[in-house]
Amino acid sequence: MAYSVLARKWRPSTFDEVIGQEAVIQTLKNSIEEGRIHHSLIFSGLRGTGKTSTARIYAKALNCKNGPTVSPCLECDACKDIAEGRDIDVMEIDAASNKGVDDIRNLKEIVQYPPVRDRYRVFIIDEVHMLSTHAFNALLKTIEEPPDYVVFILATTEPHKIPATIRSRCQIFEFKKIPPVKIVEHLKSICEKEKIEIEDNALKLIVDASEGSMRDAQSLLDQIISFTGGKIKEEDVSVVLGVPDSTVFFEIFKAILDSNGSKIVEILDKLEERNTDFVKFVLRLGEFFNSLLHAVVSKDNDFLPDYLKEKRFSVEDIIRYLNVILQNERFVREAFNPRIAVELLLFKMVFASKVIPISELLSKKKLNENKSSVFKNSEDGYSERIFKRNSELIDFIKSSFQNYTAFNSILKKAEVDVEGNMVYVTLDPVPSSVKESIEKKVLKSIEGNLYIRFKKRFRCMLNIPEISPRKSVNGIEKHPLVKKIVEEFDGRIERIEK
């Protein structure tokens, strides 16, 4: 016996077997039970959502020996012939290959004759939007006033391309994307009946790739069964579809929390070797962080693997990550190299994790906690010695500034910071000639004095922030929160950007 692909083998044969289109099915059932059979219907929606299958079921419901009925028997000649596509009174026409005016004229000739055996002549025109303008014009009169025994079902994925004159004469049924949970349930049922073992995460990958199309999901499952031979794991689906499995996203999340840029690059290199579609990768990355947000809000401790449960992060952190993804998803889609765009996106997420809330800055809580921890947690006194040494260095440098009377007015406002063997001197803006003089006459001299005093080489660097002309953006500098920050930190507004 010839092999039948899953999409055909498990095609719905009754209204109750159609998945995810409850509103459409209920309306069609009601019209049959009440005897309100409309002569022209439009079934519109995404590919693989059940348009043609529902059209065939509707044809069986109208022509079953027990009909019109919402529960065709599937045993009479009409039901069997329609299911097998050989009923002479139910014609399926592919508008993509029969889109000319002559094809429609031939159809108009057939319409004139009553059904040979069945109760209704049913014409199912698939991809009807492909018909030419002249063909639509030829179809218009027939659609408007067909014989009582004729029913037209126009199936399309692009209803906006059907002329308004045609749409206004039809009842329009919109087939929506099938919810992922329903696709998962149906694929599980198929696997059980086909005696296929499949992991839940593998099913999720297939459903994500199907984008709400049941037929696509069944076709992908068919392909993966051929690849694996009957026992399907998540990594198998990942290889076939070119999409990362869930463990990759947990690894990326850990790398972001650890600010581990090299790990991110390593993960992306491996994904690129497996020909990963980075546009789809970003979509799944967004879904991962959305699921993570739900898990954190609902306190679902089972969502994260053990090695991530000890990591510290907040709901605000996850929201920031999601914002970065949403703001850059289009950038990835349109990038000349999506891999580079994804890398940039992930590094933005790393830096997003370093953002400190304004409330925390205003309270200076974080600053005070860090200072106290330096002394409380340093049993050997090392951190305390570093702090004292740096304080001594800074006091020595500031006192040295007094020796340079030519620059006294400039240097008395200087800020000095020490990191390791680097000394950073921050000044207010000065002319370039004055900056060069301070570097040559002041900083070089201080470097020598530091070596004499502390027996260690230090490098002094001058830091002068650039200031652009201030612009007022909706009076933001007068906002109470901005004014409070400036006062609290004894700061100033250097520039305002829109």
pLDDT in tens, 424-456: 888 888 887 888 888 888 888 888 888 888 888
Is 462 in contact with 427 (CB distance < 8 Å)?
yes
Sheet-wide strand order for 121-126: 90-94, 121-126, 150-156, 40-45, 171-175
In 383-436, beta strands by DSSP E: 415-419, 422-426
Q: How confident is the model at residue 358 (pLDDT cuts 50, 70, 90)?
A: low
Amino acid (one-letter) located at 160: H
Domain membership of residue 104 as a residue range: 6-175
Give the separation between CA 142 and CA 136, rounded to whole angstroms. Answer: 10
* CA-CA-CA-CA torsion sign (153, 157, 162, 164): positive
Q: Among 252, 313, 319, which Cα is nearest to 290's?
A: 319
Q: What is the largest CA-CA distance in the chain?
A: 113
For residue 307, tell me if it sits in a domain.
yes
398 and 435 part of one domain: yes
38 and 165 part of one domain: yes
32 and 53 part of one domain: yes
Q: Among 154, 152, 163, 214, which Cα is nearest to 20's?
A: 214
16 and 100 part of one domain: yes
| pTM of the complete model | 0.63
DSSP H stretches of helix in 442-488: 444-454, 480-488
End residue of a domain, out of 331, 352, 373? 352
223 and 317 part of one domain: no
* Mean pLDDT for the stretch of residues 312-340: 87
For residue 377, tell me if it sits in a domain.
no
Least confident of 9-18, 328-337, 366-375, 385-394: 366-375
What is the bridge-based pairing of β-strands 422-426 and 171-175? unpaired
For residue 332, tell me if it sits in a domain.
yes
* Mean pLDDT for the stretch of residues 32-52: 93
Split into its structural domains, the chain has a count of: 4
Helix (H, G, I), strand (E, B) or coil at 424: strand
317 and 250 part of one domain: yes
348 and 402 part of one domain: no
99 and 121 part of one domain: yes
Q: What is each CA distance from 366 to 101, 216, 361, 371, in whole angstroms?
A: 76, 52, 7, 9
Least confident of 117-121, 230-234, 458-462, 494-498: 494-498
End residue of a domain, out of 306, 335, 352? 352
Contacts of 484 (CB under 8 A, 6+ apart): 362
Give the separation between CA 184 and CA 207, rounded to whole angstroms. Answer: 7
Is 339 in contact with 268 (CB distance < 8 Å)?
yes
End residue of a domain, out of 337, 352, 367? 352
Interval 271-304: pLDDT, tens: 888 888 888 888 889 888 988 888 888 887 778 7
42 and 130 part of one domain: yes
Is 105 in contact with 135 (CB distance < 8 Å)?
no
Interval 115-140: pLDDT, tens: 999 999 999 999 999 988 888 888 88
What is the bridge-based pairing of β-strands 422-426 and 415-419? antiparallel
346 and 393 part of one domain: no
CATH number of 453's domain: 3.30.300.180
* Mean pLDDT for the stretch of residues 168-174: 93
Neighbour count for residue 294 (Cβ, 10 Å): 12
Q: Among 135, 124, 120, which Cα is nearest to 166's?
A: 135
For residue 375, tell me if it sits in a domain.
no
Q: Among 331, 267, 321, which Cα is nearest to 291's?
A: 321
Give the separation between CA 117 and CA 121, rounded to whole angstroms. Answer: 9
